[in-house]
């Protein structure tokens, strides 16, 4: 094989890698495995690709050796830029377009929020302990789906305000008339909500799929609609939990729990009619399973 033929094979192989990456991205977006926002991130990082191309061109001009001249610089640089851009899409870099829909609440020491409601029309809602000083934070997942951009409406109050987080496509609460814009490029598989552990939260959560870990969150009350799993910690005082849908509830061993409604409970519990309990009644979690809902209660040692 002559040098020119060898160079042609290298170039074809390099451009083939680029085509494969672009095909994977396009297919991932089409089948909702990836969010369309990945295309925004890749496009926003074009200066990196341009800089690499310029560096490769200058290098070949400065050292025009035979071996270096045979390297297919342009396709290799483009491939490197694509892989690097896709990798950054899955990081927490806040300057990327895909992060423009993420929300950060005010510092927890500057607000008196105690009630938070999250309503999702599509997708999976994940709630856990947040990081940083914000009272709450909402991040869109990196996978594709039908969940739209989250919109937070804050209503401060003297005795603790209220935060309502909805899909930007839904009607605004409190009869508000505010200009809001949707962006189909920022669709995702769901939202991840982080809550600061200092406040005592009163939560209302609704989504088709829900995964909640509140073991480090103090709760005044909890209402959940959908289906999924819920992890809670101890309840130092009687705390109400209302379930609309099918859920698996994990509670620490030894914590008093009383359940009213359709529920599967551990063998050591006391069952009387449609009520089951463990420990002192009315001393811990008071779970109400609404009609057509169901719950399975698990106890954990963790």
pLDDT-derived band at 11 (thresholds 50, 70, 90) equals low
Among 4, 11, 1, 13, residue whose Cα is nearest residue 73:
11
- Rounded CA-CA distance 81/77 in Å is 6
pLDDT-derived band at 93 (thresholds 50, 70, 90) equals confident
Tell me what percent of the residues of the chain surpass a pLDDT of 90. 48
pLDDT reported for residue 113: 66
What are phi and psi for residue 234, nearest 5 degrees? Answer: -70, 160
pLDDT reported for residue 145: 92
Q: Give the pLDDT mean for 244-268.
A: 95
Q: Give the pLDDT mean for 144-148.
A: 92
User: Cβ neighbours of residue 97 under 8 Å, at least 6 residues apart?
Assistant: 37, 40, 41, 44, 185
Q: Give the pLDDT mean for 231-237.
A: 91
Q: Give the pLDDT mean for 212-233.
A: 95
In this predicted structure, the answer to whether residue 4 has a pLDDT above a threshold of 60 is: no
Q: Give the pLDDT mean for 156-170.
A: 80
C-beta of residue 148 within 8 angstroms of C-beta of residue 186: yes
Kindly report the average pLDDT of the chain as a whole number: 86
Out of 5-9, 184-188, 214-218, which region has the weakest mean confidence (pLDDT)?
5-9
pLDDT tens for residues 63-91? 666 555 556 677 777 888 888 888 888 88
pLDDT tens for residues 21-77? 889 899 999 998 999 999 999 888 888 878 877 777 776 667 666 555 556 677 777
C-beta of residue 224 within 8 angstroms of C-beta of residue 206: yes
Q: Can you read off the two tokens belonging to residue 196?
A: 């600061």
**DSSP of 253-286:** TT--EEEESSEE--TTSEEETTEEEESSTTSSEE
Largest CA distance in the chain: 87
Q: Give the pLDDT mean for 98-108.
A: 88
């Amino acid at each position: 094989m002559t040098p020119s033929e060898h160079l042609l094979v290298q170039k074809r192989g390099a451009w083939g890698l680029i085509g494969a990456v672009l095909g994977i991205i396009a297919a991932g977006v089409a089948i909702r495995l990836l969010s369309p926002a990945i295309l925004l991130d890749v496009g926003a990082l074009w200066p990196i690709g341009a800089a690499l191309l310029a560096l490769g061109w200058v290098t070949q001009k400065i050292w025009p050796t035979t071996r270096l001249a045979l390297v297919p610089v342009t396709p290799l640089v483009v491939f490197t830029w694509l892989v690097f851009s896709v990798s950054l899409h899955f990081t927490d870099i806040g300057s990327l377009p895909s992060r423009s829909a993420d929300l950060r609440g005010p510092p927890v020491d500057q607000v008196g929020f105690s009630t938070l409601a999250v309503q999702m029309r599509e997708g999976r809602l994940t709630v856990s302990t947040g990081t940083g000083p914000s009272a709450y934070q909402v991040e869109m997942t990196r996978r594709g789906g039908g969940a739209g951009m989250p919109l937070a409406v804050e209503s401060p109050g003297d005795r603790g305000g209220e935060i309502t987080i909805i899909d930007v496509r839904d009607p605004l609460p409190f009869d508000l008339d505010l200009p809001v814009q949707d962006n189909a490029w920022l669709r995702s598989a769901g939202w991840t909500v982080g809550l600061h552990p200092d406040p005592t939260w009163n939560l209302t959560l609704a989504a088709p799929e829900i995964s909640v870990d509140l073991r480090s969150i103090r709760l005044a009350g909890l209402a959940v609609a959908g289906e999924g799993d819920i992890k809670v910690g101890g309840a130092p005082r009687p705390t109400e939990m209302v379930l609309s849908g099918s859920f698996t509830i994990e509670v620490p061993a030894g914590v008093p729990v009383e359940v009213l409604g359709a529920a599967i409970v551990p063998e050591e519990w006391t069952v009387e009619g449609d009520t089951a309990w463990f420990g002192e009644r009315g001393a811990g979690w008071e779970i109400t399973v609404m009609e057509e809902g169901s719950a399975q209660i698990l106890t954990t040692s963790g």
